[in-house]
Amino acid sequence: MAILTHMYFQFGTRSLILPLAVHPDDTDELKITTQGLCVFLNQTGCLRSSLFAFACCAGSIIACAPASASAFEPHHHRVAAVETVSAASQAGVLVRDLPLPDGSFQRVLYDAPASAVRGVIVMFPGGADDIGIEKDGQIKHGDNFVVRSRDLWTARGYGVVLVDAIDHQSMRGKRSTAAYAEVTREIVEFAHEQANAPVWVMGTSQGSIAAMNAAAHAKGPQLAGVILTESVSILGGSHETVFDAHPQDVRIPALVVANKDDQCKVAPPSMANAIAQSMRNTQASVLFVQGGIVGSSNQCASLSPHGYYGIEGKVVDDIAEWMVHVGA
């Protein structure tokens, strides 16, 4: 039986945790899992062969939502030609502290693509939201899905705005509030200042609450759409869910993404349709994916199916296809 372990890599301002399957009966070599190798190659720009890419990612499965919600079905999945990440994007990193009315600051990081900007995505991490953005662009806690996948987005021509916790304080229980809705407006305004392109909001896990709140309070054409991934829909320790973030006020295109293999008790995939239906004043689609590596005993951790660990490229491809489908 293989024992799952990890190897840590640092590439400039990027960090990468590579899952390894170590076989006790083979002391001379480490056998890297296919999915883990796929993630490694994608994020370090080594993926050159589309045939090899297909072999890496063939284990990921996409499925449609039931007819009770509008389902988005991507075309037969193709490996994108732009899996590699240009080192030139390092020069496009901008860190900004946005002043808030109470005297505190909201730190954000903008990562620009090397090519023309086709859109900007504001990304709200899960957990406590404290990803630790440093002034030089380093990120202390880079496990979260929206942080790990940012290079995949810039390679596709999207600018990425990563949102840190306000003054490094936990954002649990605060993301659905009216006060935080005002913070999201400041962040969205910052995103618009970076490029003359559509702006989207995306959240994962607890961060989906923030994304829903931002979408619910967006004015006019401020936002092109909202993407909610592995959203917290069952009340837990944060004492709030996406249903507390005014889904009935969302009036922009919405996508709910759910991993059938997600075992996180506060974000069950079975609630995906209910989340979509709660946004009753817009067209909300549901996208089911399947797969991922179990890299943690915590089923709600980032390095697990809850965080699309090992299937990041496929999930990003399918979300990007939906974005194009709705007109971005």
- Cβ atoms of 211 and 162 within 8 Å: the answer is no
Confidence tier at 159 by pLDDT (50, 70, 90):
very high
pLDDT by residue (tens digit) across 193-228?
Answer: 999 999 999 999 999 999 999 999 998 889 999 999
Spell out the domain ranges in the chain. 3-53, 64-325
Backbone angles phi, psi at 100, to 5 degrees: -110, 160
Note the pLDDT of residue 7: 46
What is the distance between the alpha carbons of residues 283 and 154, in angstroms, rounded to a whole number? 27
> Residue 74: what pLDDT?
66
Q: Say what the pLDDT of residue 128 is.
A: 66
Q: 48-57, 144-153, 317-326: which range is least confident on average?
A: 48-57
Whole-angstrom distance, CA of residue 5 vs CA of residue 296: 10
* Residues 271-283, mean pLDDT to the nearest whole number: 97
The angle, 0 to 180 degrees and rounded to 10, between the axes of the packed helices 312-325 and 34-44 is 60
CB of 255 closer than 8 Å to CB of 322: yes
Q: Lowest mean pLDDT of 47-61, 216-230, 295-309, name the range.
A: 47-61
Q: Which pLDDT score, from 0 to 100, does residue 244 have?
A: 95
How far is Cα 269 from Cα 72, in angstroms, rounded to an integer?
15
pLDDT at 276 over 50: yes
* Average pLDDT of every residue of the chain: 78
Greatest CA separation found in the chain? 61
- Res. 82: pLDDT tops 70: no
- What pLDDT does 92 receive? 81
Distance separating alpha carbons of residues 209 and 175, to the nearest angstrom = 6
Angle at 77 between CA 260 and CA 43, to 5 degrees: 85
Q: Residue 96: is its pLDDT beyond 60?
A: yes
Q: Is the pLDDT of residue 33 over 80?
A: no
Report pLDDT for 163. 95
- Summarised one tens digit per residue, pLDDT across range 121-154 is 999 998 766 789 999 999 998 889 999 999 999 9
At 29 the pLDDT is 36
CATH of 64-325, picked from 3.30.230.30, 3.40.50.1820, 3.20.20.70, 3.30.565.10, is 3.40.50.1820
For 247-278, letters b (16+ CB in 10 Å) and e give: bebbebbbbbbbbbbbebebbebebbbbbbeb
pLDDT tops 50 at residue 49: no
Task: Calculate mean pLDDT across residues 253-279.
Answer: 97
